[in-house]
Amino acid sequence: MEQYDIVILGGGIAGLTAAVYGVRAGLKTLVLEKNTCGGLANWAIEIENFPSHEKIGGQDLMTRIKSQALNLGVEIREIIEVEGIQLEGRSKEIKTDDGIFYSKTIIVASGREPIPLSIMVDSDHIHYCAICDGTAYRGKDVLVVGGGNSGVCDALYLLNQGVGGITLIEQMDRLFAAKVSQEALLARPEVNVMTSTEVCGLTVDGDSHRVTLRNTQTAARQEIEVRGIFVYIGQVPHTSLFKGILELDEQGYIQADETMHTNLEGVFVAGDVRRKKYRQLTTAMNDGTIAALEAEEYIHKNARMTK
Ligand SMILES: Cc1cc2nc3c(=O)[nH]c(=O)nc-3n(C[C@H](O)[C@H](O)[C@H](O)COP(=O)(O)OP(=O)(O)OC[C@H]3O[C@@H](n4cnc5c(N)ncnc54)[C@H](O)[C@@H]3O)c2cc1C
């Protein structure tokens, strides 16, 4: 039987930050990662808003954090599938394809993933985060796919970053972003909004991306040329394991207050999988830090009570 103080589900930046804090508090800490560690940050070609590095590749950053955690004594198991979980009571049980683990606390840091464009074309110029990748497109034309809050807000962000022109397309017959954001976007002459429109083809030639757009009502097609594509057709939090167990919001994100406590004692949440407004590396680290410190306090409180 393998017994831990903290088991962390997810080896992204939230989970690895929590692990560093956990092990430094003298707690036996295990990270279970279903792929290899790094999470979404591995997708970031170049990160320019991480304090301490003017520029750093996402994979480079995450390799450093993982190696720091390992050197401190965190146990990490990768490519592991969680098959079942029991979160009630003082001893939590995690069943995996590599054995059963028991822990006093659990930190859920399982993140989320953007829904990718269904057109499978390999390109470094397809992005899912304007804050992360927008500055590379100053003076250049881009396509934004998705007319919800994320698409419209990131389009406004791209305009503030000085992109040349934006074509924003939405599959449905209207935009879904907040009215005030829509109005701000539509007031900008550099923006062409096309509703009832979807991407149906893409040809990449060097930096140039020729996108075929299709009108979903008339089936009429047209081609546009852009340098980059920003995709906002939804995100899926990795919370299917927790349905009916943890309190989730209507989109499946885990509910917690600023102390990262979930509705179950000894179960904490950190990072993008938590319901919150800003999802960035720094905010995920913030969550991971707090979750580990709260887990430590919870463990010590229970130990005092059982003496
Ligand atoms: C392309 C791109 C570029 C970005 N660039 C920037 C940037 O420049 N600056 C910035 O601040 N932010 C950036 N972001 C956002 C940032 O990467 C995320 O906010 C951050 O990585 C979230 O960290 P996380 O640990 O909460 O989740 P994740 O990074 O998603 O990590 C979660 C981990 O949990 C694992 N997992 C999921 N389910 C399970 C399970 N059941 N069991 C075990 N493991 C599981 C996943 O495999 C994953 O490794 C970018 C995002 C993208 C997509």
pLDDT band at 118 (very low <50, low <70, confident <90, very high): confident
pLDDT computed for residue 2 by the predictor: 85
153 noted as active-site residue:
no
Q: What is the mean pLDDT of residues 267-286?
A: 96
Residue 156 predicted with pLDDT over 90: yes
Contact 145 CB / ligand 1 (< 6 Å): no
Q: Is 104 exposed, middle or buried (0-12, 13-18, 19+ CB in 10 A)?
A: buried
Q: What is the pLDDT of residue 207?
A: 84
- Does any ligand 1 atom lie closer than 6 A to the CB of residue 284? yes
pLDDT digit string (tens) for 86-114? 999 999 999 999 999 999 999 999 999 88
Active site residue 249: no
- Of all protein residues, whose CA lies closest to atom 45 belonging to ligand 1? 10
Structural tokens at position 285: 């680290």
- Asked if 3 contacts 261 with a C-beta cutoff of 8 angstroms, the reply is no
Please give the pLDDT value at position 93. 97
Return the best residue to mutate from 132, 235, 278 for the ligand 1 pocket (most ligand atoms within 8 A of CB). 132
Task: Give the model's pLDDT for residue 43.
Answer: 76
Q: Is the CB–ligand 1 distance for residue 111 below 6 Å?
A: yes
Q: Is the CB of 106 under 6 A from ligand 1?
A: no
User: Which fold would CATH assign to domain 2-113+235-305?
Assistant: FAD/NAD(P)-binding domain (3.50.50)
Average pLDDT over residues 183-212: 95
Domain pair 2-113+235-305 / 116-231, same fold: yes
Tell me yes or no: is domain 116-231 CATH 3.30.200.20. no
**pLDDT number for residue 171:** 96
Closest ligand 1 atom to residue 281 Cα is 11
Residue nearest atom 19 of ligand 1, based on CA coordinates? 280
Cβ(20)–Cβ(67) under 8 Å?
A: no
Tell which atom from ligand 1 comes closest to the C-alpha of 127: 1
Catalytic residue among 60, 98, 122, 133: 133
Looking at residue 150, what is its pLDDT? 82
Taking the centre of ligand 1 as the mean of its atom positions, its distance from the CA of residue 275, in whole angstroms, is 14
* pLDDT, tens only, 34-76: 999 999 898 777 788 999 999 999 999 999 999 999 999 999 9
Distance CA 92, CA 103 (A): 5
Question: Per-domain residue ranges for the chain?
Answer: 2-113+235-305, 116-231
**Residue 46: per-residue pLDDT:** 77
Active site residue 133: yes
User: How close is the Cα of 13 to the center of ligand 1, in Å?
Assistant: 7
Q: 36-67 burial, b for 16+ CB within 10 Å, e for fewer?
A: ebbbbbbbbeebeebeeeeebebeebbeebbe
Q: What percent of the chain has pLDDT over 90?
A: 84
pLDDT at 42: 86
User: Is the pLDDT score of 218 beyond 80?
Assistant: yes
